[in-house]
Every structure is written in structure tokens, then in C-alpha cells.
Structure 1
């Protein structure tokens, strides 16, 4: 398969993933698709090879489909705690409690959490 055809397929997968992840939110859907389109025209990291860029786009599409869940605040009468309706679909990756409880099963990342400060809390 040619590189151009692989790139078009990855782009299509990305568009489908945005449709799944951002359904019923046209503003965010349009922004995500515009960002994807601009990334196809002007790749964000020109140092990567074409194959690496295609792989990155495929990875983004998989992440959008499996790991992104949108929530909508639901007005639930006089309750003090806000409630949210989550858009969980058939492709959403649901974890289990075993991986959370077992510290050896956790995936190590390079992200470092900053300490929580009282001033961070909204009042």
C-alpha cells in the first residue's frame, strides 16, 4: 500500500474517531476536524518520517475512540451535588479495579503531578 493511501486511511480513521468522540457537540467536533486537517497540511513535527506521522495519527484516532468520554451536566432539581451524563459507547475502554489496586500493573509515564495547593481549589 502506498504512503499516500495509508495517510488517507489514517485521516479517515481520525475523522471517524472525532465523530464518535464528539457526537452532539458540533463546536468541538468542528474544531477537532479543523486541527486534524491543518495537521495533515502542515505536520506538527516535520522531523518525523511520513510513516511515523501516519502512525501518530492512527494512535490519536485510537485514543479518541477508546479513552475520551464527554460528560454533560444534568440539572437534577434541588440537589447540591452536580450530576453528569457520560457518553460511554461500545468502543470506550473500561478499566478494571485489579490494575488500579496492583502497583506493579501500572504503566509508568513521564508525567509528573504537581502537588495540590489549597489555592488551586475553586471557591
Structure 2
């Protein structure tokens, strides 16, 4: 392996370790497993899963994985404490307690505006001929509930 290729591999390896730290900061089990997998793959001269890939292609793949981890992986943590609004009784009846999750959204997380989903390719209803929405109004993700984002 040339010295230039070795420098690229080391740089990609370091970036991958940083990306795992950012993506899995609160989940040590997943963090350790991801780092172990990266380490074992980097030590191999030839990938077991993709033996036809050259070293340069494997370095590029590792760079792409690092970018994906930084931008697209968000871990959720179930919080034990309950928001004050849910613990109060409403008109004599206790509100049903819903679990609260903390999402590890960081500065590198890619936040989309979901325009592509809102403008989805609806299917025509065979009876009315009108285009049906991919998601019925008010269905949302997570059972139609409201999602509140709080910053820590």
C-alpha cells in the first residue's frame, strides 16, 4: 500500500471513529460494536463481504458510511421523568401517561422538510378517479400523535 493510500485510510478511519462517537454517544454497546466492526474491516487486506473491492473503494465506502452516520442516524432515549403537563389531573380525571423520548439531534443531523413526502405520488381511486394521498389527513407518523421537540 502506498504512503498516500495509507494516509487516506488513516484519515477515513479517524473520521469513522468520530462519526460513531457522534451517532452513538449515549449507547456504549452500539458504539463499541460499530468501532470493533470498523477496526476489524480496516485490518483486513481484503473484505470478507466484498472481496472484489479495492482498497481505494473500501476507503471511499468508509467515508460514505461516516457521512451517513453523522447526518442520518439519530438515536432516541426513553426518558423516565414525565412532563409537568401530563402529571396534572384534568377536570378530576388523570391523563393517560405517554412515554417521552429524547432524540439525539446534533448540529450535523440532516433535517429535511418532508416536501417529497407531502407531494407524494398518490394513487387514483378507481371509483372516484381522484388522486388519494399516500397518507390520510392527520395520520402522521407514530399513530397520528403530536410530536414536540424540546432542546436540552
Greater strand fraction, Structure 1 or Structure 2: 2
Residue equivalent to 1:53: 58
Residue equivalent to 1:75: 80
CA–CA distance in structure 2, aligned partners of residues 16 and 97 of structure 1 = 28
Which of residues 115, 119, 140 is equivalent to 1:102?
119
**For structure 1, which runs of at least 5 residues remain unmatched after alignment?**
105-123
Residue equivalent to 1:117: none
- Deviation digits for residues 8-50 of structure 1, max 9, x if unmatched? 1111110000010011222211111001101112323121111
Q: Which structure carries more relative contact order (alpha carbon 8 Å, separation 6+)?
A: 1
The Cα RMSD (Å) is 1.8
- Deviation digits for residues 43-77 of structure 1, max 9, x if unmatched? 23121111111110000000000000010011244
Are 1:28 and 2:45 an aligned pair? no
Are 1:17 and 2:19 an aligned pair? yes
Give the TM-score taking structure 2 as reference length.
Answer: 0.62
Are 1:92 and 2:109 an aligned pair? yes
Give the TM-score taking structure 1 as reference length.
Answer: 0.76
CA–CA distance in structure 1, aligned partners of residues 43 and 119 of structure 2 = 43
Runs of 4 or more above 4 Å deviation: 76-79
**For structure 2, which runs of at least 5 residues remain unmatched after alignment?**
88-95, 122-152
CA-CA distance at 1:97 after TM superposition: 2.5
